[in-house]
């Protein structure tokens, strides 16, 4: 074979190699693209924000543009709230669009089930809405127990207007009322002597409350404030704070020790921090114009 023939043969082989490499590159690119589309459809990430209000912590998810979680996703919600295998939280809150309101709040307990109103969660979602740019210093939103208003002030201080309370049941050694969630309140001399988990669980699973459950609050009055510890249904454990719980405790404290002031302002110490509840007594078994006040803070954000 002449030199010219050898050169021609070499060029033919070289062209085949180039074509093979181009074909391989195209196939690899196609495989990667198809894999991307599959993963995007089946293995999506959920952007979240973690908030806490006096130690009562929540996973917040913005669902205005895309529905990441549905109400039936009980196992997923419970996994997200799991402190060992998920993000970890006392509950999960969805922020969604709702006509006539700034947004809608949908709350789930740590067990993954949709639950009744959460006061600290309501304060946290108000702060979250401000962070998202939905509202500035005031908001009007819908929760499971009806409409709520909130004022978002400096230093992460949020004041949430709660639903009116009616038909308080006053027993020999307890108070029972619904402040958006049902609460059983017991007054004690020294809260440090109380095993909140064991005593709370015993009441929550007693014959009267076993089916629907009840939150249990232990309250120690002091000269400066009231100290409150809470066993929460759905979490089925003691939590550092409970908004509807401290609201119930403050109202019960007034009816246990009534005074002539038309407007009450009760300072509260929970294990997670300081709160305050303002309200106006209404007759012998109710309260109105109730405001739950305290800090609501962003802890971190990420994708799950």
Q: Contact at 8 Å (CB) between 233 and 169? A: no
C-alpha torsion 60→65→71→75, nearest 10: -60
3-state SS record for 12-36: HHHHHHHHHHHHHHHHHHHHHHHHH
Our answer to whether residue 118 is catalytic in this structure is yes
Our answer to whether residue 293 is catalytic in this structure is no
Radius of gyration of the chain (CA): 28
Going by the DSSP 8-state scheme, the letter that residue 51 receives in this structure is E
Q: Can you spell out the DSSP letters for 231-270? A: EETTTTEEES--HHHHHHHHHHHHHHS--S-SSEEEEEEE
Catalytic residue among 81, 139, 242, 293: 242
CB atoms within 10 A of CB 52: 21
Specify whether the backbone of 55 is left (phi greater than 0), alpha (psi in -120 to 50) or beta.
Answer: left
Catalytic residue among 81, 118, 139, 293: 118
CA angle 207, 252, 169 (to 5 degrees): 45
Which positions are annotated as active-site residues? 118, 242
């Amino acid at each position: 074979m002449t030199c010219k023939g050898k050169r021609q043969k070499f060029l033919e082989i070289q062209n085949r190699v180039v074509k093979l490499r181009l074909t391989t590159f195209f196939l690899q690119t196609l495989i990667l693209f198809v894999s991307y589309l599959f993963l995007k459809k089946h293995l999506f990430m959920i952007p979240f924000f973690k908030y806490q209000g006096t130690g009562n912590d929540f996973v917040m998810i913005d669902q205005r543009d895309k529905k990441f979680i549905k109400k039936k996703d009980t196992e997923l919600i419970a996994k997200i709230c799991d402190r060992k295998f998920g993000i970890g939280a006392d509950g999960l809150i969805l922020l969604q669009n709702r006509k006539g309101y700034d947004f809608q709040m949908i709350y789930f307990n740590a067990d993954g089930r949709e639950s009744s109103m959460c006061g600290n969660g309501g304060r946290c979602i108000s702060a979250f809405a401000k962070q998202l740019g939905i509202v500035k210093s005031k908001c009007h939103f819908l929760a499971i127990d009806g409409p709520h208003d909130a004022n978002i002030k400096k230093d992460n201080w949020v004041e949430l207007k709660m639903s009116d309370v009616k038909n308080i049941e006053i027993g020999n050694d307890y108070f029972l009322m619904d402040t958006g969630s049902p609460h059983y309140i017991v007054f004690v001399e020294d809260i440090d002597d109380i095993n909140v988990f064991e005593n709370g669980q015993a009441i929550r699973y007693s014959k009267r409350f076993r089916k629907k459950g009840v939150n249990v609050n232990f309250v120690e009055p002091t000269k400066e404030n009231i100290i409150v510890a809470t066993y929460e249904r759905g979490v089925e454990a003691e939590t550092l704070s409970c908004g509807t719980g401290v609201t119930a405790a403050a109202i019960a404290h007034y009816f246990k020790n009534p005074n002539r002031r038309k407007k009450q302002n009760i300072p509260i110490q929970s294990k997670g921090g300081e709160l305050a509840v303002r309200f106006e007594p209404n007759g012998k078994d109710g309260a109105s114009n109730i405001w739950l006040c305290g800090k609501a803070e962003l802890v971190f954000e990420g994708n799950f």
